[in-house]
């Protein structure tokens, strides 16, 4: 909302009011024609009504825009503040109400379920990762020594064994 806009409208309406009062006072003086002054007063009133009408037509759009913004803001705030575990509690309450009415359950909540079990699991996993990292820092990691085979051994037909030939050799078959 623009407070300055309201102030300007109020000041304009006060100015219209002053013009109307001035025209009413002029009607009392016999020097002016009262019919012409009344017509002028009606024109000023019509102008005031038209300005106010345009303002409030536009004001409706402003209010709707502000209402949409406020609704989005409230919804985002509620999302931030809502506990994800509230859903489980709502379901549990709903199922208890169904049970009291003698209706079959729609969902089954595990017996002994605890809202904090997932948090405990996450904490345990973080602790395990932390212990593994601290163990890994104490001793340097060793890379296996991968010696390159000699060119003769790599190309030699005696060292190459196919899986089927190896199985046959192990079973006594050729």
Q: Give pLDDT, residue 73.
A: 92
Q: What is the pLDDT of residue 155?
A: 53
Listed as ranges, residues in the chain with pLDDT below 70 are 1, 115, 137-174
pLDDT at 100: 94
Residue 120 to residues 85, 117, 126: CA-CA distances in angstroms? 14, 5, 10
Which residue do the tokens 């199985």 mark?
167
Give the start-end residues of each E strand in 23-172: none
Q: What integer pLDDT is reported at residue 45 of this predicted model?
A: 92
User: pTM of the full predicted structure?
Assistant: 0.38
């Amino acid at each position: 909302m623009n407070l300055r806009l309201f102030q300007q409208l109020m000041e304009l309406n006060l100015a219209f009011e002053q013009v109307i009062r001035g025209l009413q006072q002029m009607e009392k003086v016999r020097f002016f024609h009262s019919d012409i002054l009344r017509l002028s007063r009606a024109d000023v009133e019509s102008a005031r009504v038209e300005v106010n009408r345009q303002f409030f037509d536009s004001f409706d759009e402003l209010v709707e825009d502000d209402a949409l913004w406020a609704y989005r803001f409230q919804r985002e705030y509620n999302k931030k503040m809502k506990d994800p575990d509230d859903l489980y509690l709502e379901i549990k309450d709903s199922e208890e109400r169904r049970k009291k009415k003698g209706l079959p359950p729609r969902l089954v909540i595990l017996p002994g379920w605890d809202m904090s079990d997932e948090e405990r699991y996450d904490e345990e996993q973080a602790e395990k990762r932390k212990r593994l990292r601290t163990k890994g820092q104490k001793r340097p990691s060793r890379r296996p020594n991968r010696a390159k085979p000699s060119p003769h051994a790599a190309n030699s037909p005696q060292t190459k064994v196919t899986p089927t030939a190896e199985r046959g050799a192990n079973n006594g078959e050729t």
